[in-house]
Copies of this chain bind each other. A is one copy, B any other.
Amino acid sequence: MITGKNYIGSQLKAGGNITLKTFNPLLNTENPWVFTEATHEEIEEAVALASQAFDSYKRCSGIEKAAFLNTIADEILALGDLLLVQYCSESGFSKGRAEGERGRMIGQLRSFAEMLIEGSWVQATIDTAIPERQPAPKEDLRKMLVPLGPVVVFGSSNFPFAFSTAGGDTASALAAGCPVIVKSHSMHIGTGEMVASAIIKAAQKTNMPEGVFSNLAGAGRTLGASLVQHPLVKAVGFTGSISGGRALCDLAAKRPEPIPVFAEMGSVNPVVLLPEALKQNSQKWALAYAGSITLGAGQFCTNPGLLLAVKGAALNEFAEQLAKAIEKTTPSCMLHASMQADFETGIFTMASQNGVSKVAQFTGEVPPNHGRPTVLKVSGEEFLKNKVLSHEVFGPFSILVECNDEAELLQIINTLDGQLTGTIIGEENELHEHQDVIFALQNRVGRLIFNGVPTGVEVCPSMLHGGPYPASSDSRFTAVGTHAVYRWVRPLSYQNWPDDLLPAELQNENPLQIVRTTDHKLTLSKI
């Protein structure tokens, strides 16, 4: 079923001579399939096709695009268990996780389809003419969102389904009306090819233009750089490391025509444990956090990597309970041998810093490529002195920072980099006296969580998955939820435009029956 080739539009091509293989971390061995890196010519062809496809794809109605997205979901499901087996063999994840994440991918595709069918997402805004206005008449003006053009999507390592080939970036860009070129993540190219085949089938079944989707494989940064620098590419979506994301942002910013890059990057997701909560519920929160730190081998962007609290008996009790739970947590397989090696290096680096000691580490035997759950601790004073301690260690890891007092805790929050999430664990009666901490945390994060864990990113309109740099490259957008579509669109105004030439969304009769802002009022009415 795996051909090892690139989809240049609907054509499978492999004209190059650089080959790649993926790795099965559970079996600790290379997978059998041989993939061919896309050539310069194949990249050029994919981008040219995407640019041509844009001309007609941007004119597709919401209903047509919704049919495309729903058919992609159908075709992915039609791949059945074979796809799940492929996913597991290239990620080390369990079949349960594979099914769950497939559900998320399917759910995302269908939620964008629903958004398109409903139609109001284009933010149609109409100000009707006032011909008699003095000193000059007011012209009729109407505005709605239109797609930017071809989008390049970089698949993530840790979500082979939900943030890769047909993941949130692809689904939102296709929903926007932008053709997509995926740079498949090198850890799961086979999974990517299977999902790509479903997208291509769906494009053909729903009569989408050739080139609306392409899927390319490549190992190093050359392929990605060529795509981001290509003049016909108009935007980029990325999920991964700070260094990778920043490199793409820098390339995009240096283009003759700079383009927007939405990169969702690193985060340590600080958790503030308030004193009353520690006193009253240390065991409950210790168990919850042991679970959150080790979930999915800690390979989540929202993994809680930094626990902050004021020192004392209650915190000691929490640390003991957390240690017990962590020591009992069986290690899980990580995505790749290199990931596990990086994780061990990360722990070693952290543990070697001044003043760092161990809270807990799983002590049993750790199978190859599995992540050893680890929690370290350090004083607030040391943490403030040493920037290394605030770096992300990708895997089942967290560092507990014992602050001298609340002033020190506040100072730490105020010096943190931007974060995807920030969490407050507290009893309701103690929150008002810690308002400063809460407001400081709010400045740093994209999502504030109360009495919960940051892992688990709900797909819904009120989700913000992003945040101040370097959590994301642009805090004004989200990677998760239907609002993710706003990364790939721009408003276009029509002044005094003939009704029959306007897009249906802006016509007088409101034929799509969408909610519009007409003369400052939200309404479903016609004009």
Instruction: Please give the residue numbers on chain A whose beta carbons come within 8 Å of chain B beta carbons, in ascending order.
Output: 55, 59, 125-127, 136, 138-139, 141-143, 146, 148-149, 249-250, 253-254, 257-260, 417-418, 428, 431-432, 438-439, 442-443, 445-452, 456, 458, 460-464, 468-470, 473-476, 478, 483, 486, 489-498, 501, 515, 517, 520, 522
Whether B448 and A493, one on each chain, are in contact in the complex, defined by CB atoms closer than 8 angstroms, is yes
Taken together as a complex, chains A and B put the C-alpha atoms of A425 and B432 apart, in Å, by 62
Whether A141 pairs with B460 at a CB distance below 8 angstroms is yes
Chain B residues near A127 (CB, 8 Å)?
458, 460-463
The answer to whether A493 and B446 have CB atoms under 8 Å apart is yes
State in angstroms the CA–CA spacing of A139 and B455 once bound together.
12
Nearest CB in chain B to that of A464: its residue: B493
List B contacts of A257 (CB < 8 A): 417-418, 468-470
Instruction: Provide the bound-state CA to CA distance between A443 and B442, in Å.
Output: 38
**Is A464 a contact of B491 with CB atoms below 8 Å?**
yes
Distance A510 CA – B257 CA, assembled complex (angstroms): 44
Which residues of chain B are within 8 angstroms of A458 by Cβ–Cβ distance?
A: 127, 138-139, 141
- Interchain nearest-CB distance for A33 vs B (Å): 32
CB distance B442 to A146 under 8 Å? yes
Alpha-carbon distance A418/B255, docked complex (angstroms): 14
Bound form: Cα–Cα A517–B418 in Å:
27
Residues of chain B lying within 8 A (CB to CB) of residue A445: 492
Residue of B nearest to A426 (CB): B498
Contact (Cβ within 8 A) A462 B431: no
A432, B500: Cα distance in complex, Å: 10
User: Which of A126, A146, A452, A474 has the largest count of B CB atoms less than 10 A from its CB?
Assistant: A474
Q: Are A462 and B253 in contact (CB under 8 A)?
A: no
10 nearest CB pairs, A to B: A253-B253, A464-B493, A447-B493, A143-B462, A475-B490, A141-B462, A125-B462, A449-B495, A127-B460, A127-B462
Q: In the docked arrangement, what's the CA distance between A483 and B461, Å?
A: 20
Q: List, in ascending order, chain B residues with CB within 8 A of A148's CB.
A: 475-476
Give the distance to chain B from A442, nearest Cβ to Cβ, in Å. 7
Whether the Cβ atoms of B258 and A473 lie closer than 8 Å is yes
Say how far A410's CB is from chain B's closest CB, in angstroms. Answer: 12
Q: Write the nearest CB–CB distance from A506 to chain B, whole angstroms.
A: 9
A146 neighbours in B (Cβ, 8 Å): 442
Closest chain B residue to A483, Cβ basis:
B491
How near does chain B come to A478, taking the closest CB pair, in angstroms? 6
For the complex, what is the distance from the CA of A141 to the CA of B456, rounded to whole Å? 12
Q: How far is the CB of A255 from chain B (nearest CB, A)?
A: 9
Cβ-defined partner of A448 (8 Å) among B431, B449, B456, B495: B495
Known: A127-B462, A146-B442, A260-B474. A456 touches B493 (CB 8 A): no
Contact flag A461-B522 (CB < 8 Å), given A450-B495, A476-B489, A498-B428:
no
Are B520 and A461 closer than 8 Å at their CB atoms? yes
A417: B residues at CB distance < 8 A? 257
What are 13 sample pairs from A and B whose C-beta atoms fall under 8 A apart? A139-B452, A141-B458, A142-B462, A257-B417, A257-B470, A259-B469, A428-B498, A446-B491, A446-B492, A446-B493, A447-B495, A448-B493, A448-B497
A522 with B517: in contact, given A126-B462, A442-B492, A461-B125 (CB under 8 Å)? no
Q: Known pairs A253-B253, A253-B258, A476-B490; list 8 more (Cβ under 8 Å).
A: A127-B462, A143-B462, A149-B443, A257-B469, A447-B493, A448-B494, A449-B496, A450-B496
Chain B neighbourhood of A478, CB < 8 A: 491
> A463 CA to B496 CA in the complex, in Å?
12
A327–B428 Cα distance when bound, in Å, is: 76
Residues of B within 8 A of A149 (CB): 443
Q: Is B462 touching A493 in the complex (CB atoms < 8 A)?
A: yes
Is A491's CB under 8 angstroms from B476's CB? Answer: yes
